[in-house]
Amino acid sequence: MKLGMTIILAAAMLAAVPASAAQISFEDEACSNRVTYDPKKTDRVQLQGTIALLYDERPFVTGSIYQTAADLARANVGALQRQCTALTDKRKNLKVLPLPGIEDYRTMLVEDATDTCDLELASMRGMTNASALRDYKPAASVCSEYIDALEGKIDFEQAWNRTVDSNCRDNASPAVCRRRYDTEAKLPDGAVRKRLYMIGFGWNNCAVKLMRINTLEDKRNSMREGLIREFKRRFKVTSKCQDGD
């Protein structure tokens, strides 16, 4: 290519980007992205809020699994509640661009986060008061067997054995898995470990299937994908993704 032609093409490319254009860089689950926009036409704070709402893949509180008496001692319901409140407030207060359907999507994320927190708070409170597990309403009846066992309404040892056997059945080595929990049950804090197991690997495994983030996953993804398409229609977004993406 001749030098003159190269200069003309370069000039044309520069002309395609307004002199006033600005950019925001952000990450998603697989790519590094950059959006170009005209600050005279688009509010930067609203643009940043829209990016946060659309590209933050899991705006949910993720709880811990408690298995020992030492774990139980560090459980902090107040800290978890504050974390939950901060998360939902952040989502509610984001300033976003008026994309069609974005407020419905925001509402879904806030309700999803609230639902997740309800489960995590019920699980943590249930470690010292099994009846608190019933506070997570979607699982109150479906997962009641574990609560009944913890409350002494049905035989706890039989329920614990059923739960361990069921979970170990899918393990690469069911016999080794079973021996592990039998051994842990004989430790000084064995009784605590067994109760925590019934919550973390019994009730929790049952309840998570009923969470909004799982039952409404397809609807949420569809709403998000539609909003991202509209976002990319309005703005130039360039992405650098991992190999294979």
- For residue range 183-232, list pLDDT tens digits in order: 999 999 999 999 999 999 999 999 999 999 999 999 999 999 999 999 99
Q: Is the residue at 187 inside a domain?
A: yes
Residue 6: what pLDDT?
Answer: 34
Q: Looking at the predicted structure, is the pLDDT value of residue 169 above 80?
A: yes
**Segments forming the whole domain that contains residue 119:** 20-240
pLDDT at residue 222, rounded to an integer: 97
* CA atoms of 41 and 18, how far apart (whole Å): 12
Q: How far apart are CA 193 and CA 204, in angstroms?
A: 15
b (16+ CB within 10 A) / e for 189-226: bbebbbbbbbbbbbbbebbeebbbbeeeeeeeeebbee
Write out the two tokens for 175. 């016999």
Least confident of 33-37, 63-67, 230-234: 63-67
Could you give the CA distance from residue 196 to residue 160 in angstroms, rounded to a whole number?
10
* Inside any domain, residue 97: yes
Residue 9 has pLDDT above 90, yes or no: no
In a domain, 11, yes or no: no
Report yes or no on 111 lying in a domain: yes
Per-residue pLDDT of 17-31, as tens digits, reads 555 789 999 988 888
Q: What is the pLDDT of residue 18?
A: 58
Q: Is residue 3 part of a domain?
A: no
Residue 1 lies in a domain: no
Order of all β-strands in the sheet with 31-37: 22-27, 31-37, 236-241
The mean pLDDT of 143-159, rounded to a whole number, is 97
Q: Is residue 216 part of a domain?
A: yes
Q: What is the residue-wise DSSP string for 114-180?
A: HHHHHHHHHHHHHTT-GGGGGGSGGGTTTTHHHHHHHHTSS-HHHHHHHHHHHHHHTSSSHHHHHHH
The two three-digit tokens of residue 38, written as one number: 């005209």
Domains held by the chain: number: 1
Domain assignment of residue 121, yes or no: yes
The pTM score is 0.85
Using pLDDT thresholds of 50, 70 and 90, give the confidence band for residue 244: low
